[in-house]
Structure 1
Amino acid sequence: MKAPSSQLVIERAHGGDASAGGCVDFSASLNPLGPPPQAIRAYHEAAAKVSKYPPPYPRELEARLAAWLGVSPETVIAGNGSTQLIYLVARALNPRSPFVVIPTFSEVANGLFAAGSRPSGILTRAEDNFRLSHSALNDALEAGADAVFIGRPNSPTGVLASLDDTAAIAQACARRDAWCVIDEAFIEFADDPRSAASLLGSNPRLVVLRSLTKIFTIPGLRLGYLLASADFVRELRDIIEPWSVNTVAEHVAFACLDGAEDFIARTRSNIRDERRWLEQNLGRLPNLRTFPSSANFLMFAIPGEPARGEFGHHLRQRGIAIRDLSALPGCGPGMYRIGVRLRPDNERLVAAAADYFGAERR
């Protein structure tokens, strides 16, 4: 049996760095359309409520999310962003031998470390466009994995496992009595937005993490939620911190969900067009390789980058911030991620990249 990859390490770097002030920020993967207008109105309206406590547990919001998704409220729990819920799941499961499909969002491993676990990585590779192979998953399960964490679509790679493949992954885990935890923080941007939550009825060891932060561009408010079996959600409700969702965040969440489908459809169309434009224009540059993405961001590599971080530094000098992935487990020097933005910003990025390579866009 081929051994899975080595133990992971704590990594704290993230996109959306406040030090990018004054730059066009491609380092954060948010909706380039910005918050919906009703969310901004709700934010200002909520000022009248900040002198009062929010509910200690946001049951009304969870019921509204459940109605939006067409599921039972007993299968939904809301929190202070999906990151809080990653840490919550790690504490609740307390897995002895968790495996994380990498490269991925670093807070998955960080949350497991905080819970006292020692996660290992299931390494996906550039030559396979970072797709998880069934053999790699089986190796991890045979090695004793009792929980497997996977992004869908995955950040930073943009890989979206099909719903059929996701069902097979979750079933393979269940057959070994292992949990399957799927991070769908970017699912609304995906080419195929069908959620793994549709598989919950047949798999009690499946957990699906979701976010309102990314699609509605409200990262400063921190809003996420989780879907799982009613039994597991009850267990989580026993240990989640009270007042995890503040008054302003809750009020804005209700507003975001009003008319959400039209807003999301418009967003998805915009992302698809702009991502394709970026892929085509960045792909024309010498010595830059983009990887296929089904999300609102693109990962690319600059093989043989002369100095670590040089390309990112070049762009920063031109007022553009991107996400350097060189320290992220599963990545390495010369690897970067950019969020998909609106056309004027995307044109500025491509022009600055072409300047770095001394290449003219064709």
Structure 2
Amino acid sequence: MIWPSHGSNPQYLYEAIDKQMPEERIDFSANINPLGPPREFKDRWGILFQYISDYPDPHAALLKSKLAATEGIKETQILVGNGGAELITLIGRMIAGKHALIIQPAFSEYEEACRVNNCRVSYYQLEPGNWGLDMEALSEKLKAADAVFFCNPNNPTGVYYPKALVEKLIEECQKHSCLLIMDEAFYDFACDYQSIVPFIGKDTNVVVLRSMTKMFSIPGLRLGYMMAGERLIERAAALKPHWSVNALALKAGEWCLDSNEHVRLTKNLIRQERERLVSFYRSLNFAVSPSDVNFYLLRDPRLDDQLPLFQFLLEMGIIPRHTMNFPGLEGRWLRFAIKGPKDNNRLMEAMEEWRKVR
């Protein structure tokens, strides 16, 4: 069976398992803010019409200016892209033919971008449970690597690794002349996030990737950015096509940076719902990853392969994210986004039904 490689677009998932998609369904497979876009977006949406008659700024000057002011770095240390996916693609081209190490489980597009650019790919595998980093074992693998991909907070576990640990990783990468690609697509959901952005100004081989589509619920617009030393940004920008980011996305990005209250409300909601869900799961003896963000891994310890639970939920219109294409997981866990109380209640009802039959 060929499983869809991403969450969302559930019609392809139901096609893969040869099942009719229920009319009433809740998609837990995409990790998008359950509050939706900031309220101001709807009120100001009509303003965007004026921007579709001209080419967008290929340098994203206004958005970069706001990002630089927010992060305390230079505009020349920022590259705006068509979602994180475009930026990962550019990095794949930058390291073409080299050895890439991926800290797994991780977002599948790292490996895809590396493979298509003839990179040699190896893994460092996080161990289920606390999903901890053994820096000594990882350092051994870094000796042979030209670049390492590290997703923090991790996707799919939701685990956030503290700044002190990341600093050690940066030191090890420096020691071995290894480029560190730090994907922080979900950093703004982590309540105790500590920025590592200051490290990019110290001429280290650190690239920080960010997505604006998750927190601000604009995946249809596609918007992300990378931060790195000026030489790395210049190399990536030289590979990027003109006008890859549309004008509506650029303007929406500027609005996102003014939406601090939306971020605060989101973090509070996610924290409350995450605590409620974890307490519920533990009462029914499900295993849950120690997530700090808006999604988590779950498994029924009574099953090795979670396919029976996966199919049961799909038939009930509950759509988790499969883990068939996450090395080290291969279907032994399911990933769920944290949604609003009503949708989470429906999920818990389904899990109670499962426990009645299993």
TM-score (norm 2): 0.92
For the 8 Å contact 1:39–1:253, the answer to whether it is kept is: no
Deviation for aligned residue 1:211: 0.7
Q: Counterpart of 1:318?
A: 316
For the 8 Å contact 1:304–1:334, the answer to whether it is kept is: no
Q: Counterpart of 2:42?
A: 40
Per-residue CA distance 1:206-235 (angstroms, 9 max, x = gap): 000001000100000000000000121122
Q: Counterpart of 2:307?
A: 309
Match for 1:330 among 320, 328, 331? 328
Q: Counterpart of 1:3?
A: none
> What is the distance in 2 between the residues matched to 1:45 and 1:295?
32
Match for 1:112 among 114, 117, 124? 114
Structure 1 residues not aligned, in runs of 5+: 1-9
Q: Counterpart of 1:251?
A: 251
SS of residue paired to 1:98:
strand
Q: Counterpart of 1:138?
A: 139
> What is the distance in 2 between the residues matched to 1:218 and 1:194?
24
> What is the distance in 2 between the residues matched to 1:137 and 1:319?
41
Q: Are 1:16 and 2:14 counterparts?
A: no
Q: Greater CA deviation, 75-84 or 63-72?
A: 63-72
Q: Greater CA deviation, 91-100 or 38-47?
A: 38-47
Give the aligned residue type for 2:77: T
Match for 2:295 among 294, 297, 304? 297
Q: Counterpart of 1:94?
A: 96
Give the aligned residue type for 1:153: P
RMSD of aligned residue pairs (Cα, Å): 2.0
For the 8 Å contact 2:124–2:141, the answer to whether it is kept is: yes
Deviation for aligned residue 1:73: 0.7
For the 8 Å contact 1:23–1:321, the answer to whether it is kept is: yes
Per-residue CA distance 1:75-104 (angstroms, 9 max, x = gap): 111000011101111211336211000001
For the 8 Å contact 1:274–1:340, the answer to whether it is kept is: yes
1:251–1:176 distance in 2 versus 1, CA, 3 Å: same
Give the aligned residue type for 1:268: K
Q: Are 1:276 and 2:278 counterparts?
A: no
For the 8 Å contact 1:17–1:27, the answer to whether it is kept is: no
> What is the distance in 2 between the residues matched to 1:118 and 1:43?
45
> What is the distance in 1 between the residues matched to 2:61 and 2:183?
22
> What is the distance in 2 between the residues matched to 1:201 and 1:342?
39
TM-score (norm 1): 0.91
For the 8 Å contact 2:162–2:193, the answer to whether it is kept is: no
Q: Counterpart of 1:242?
A: 242
> What is the distance in 2 between the residues matched to 1:105 and 1:234?
25
Structure 2 residues not aligned, in runs of 5+: 12-20
Per-residue CA distance 1:282-319 (angstroms, 9 max, x = gap): 12113x21110111101112235386522122112222
SS of residue paired to 1:64:
helix
For the 8 Å contact 1:131–1:159, the answer to whether it is kept is: no
Identical residues among aligned pairs (%) = 32
SS of residue paired to 1:262:
helix
Q: Counterpart of 1:4?
A: none
For the 8 Å contact 1:42–1:255, the answer to whether it is kept is: no
For the 8 Å contact 2:89–2:113, the answer to whether it is kept is: yes
Per-residue CA distance 1:220-261 (angstroms, 9 max, x = gap): 000000000012112212111111110111121112222x22
SS of residue paired to 1:216:
coil
Q: Counterpart of 1:151?
A: 151
Deviation for aligned residue 1:47: 2.1
For the 8 Å contact 2:288–2:298, the answer to whether it is kept is: yes
Q: Counterpart of 2:184?
A: 184
Deviation for aligned residue 1:56: 2.4
Q: Counterpart of 1:352?
A: 350
Q: Counterpart of 1:61?
A: 63
For the 8 Å contact 1:170–1:203, the answer to whether it is kept is: no
Q: List, as ranges, runs of 4+ consecutive aligned residues in structure 1 with deviation greater than 6 Å.
A: none
Per-residue CA distance 1:134-178 (angstroms, 9 max, x = gap): 122112123x11111101101001111110110110110111111
Deviation for aligned residue 1:329: 1.2
For the 8 Å contact 1:290–1:300, the answer to whether it is kept is: yes
> What is the distance in 2 between the residues matched to 1:110 and 1:249?
25
> What is the distance in 2 between the residues matched to 1:12 and 1:172?
35
SS of residue paired to 1:283:
helix
Q: Are 1:75 and 2:77 counterparts?
A: yes
SS of residue paired to 1:300:
strand
SS of residue paired to 1:207:
strand
Q: Greater CA deviation, 226-235 or 34-43?
A: 34-43
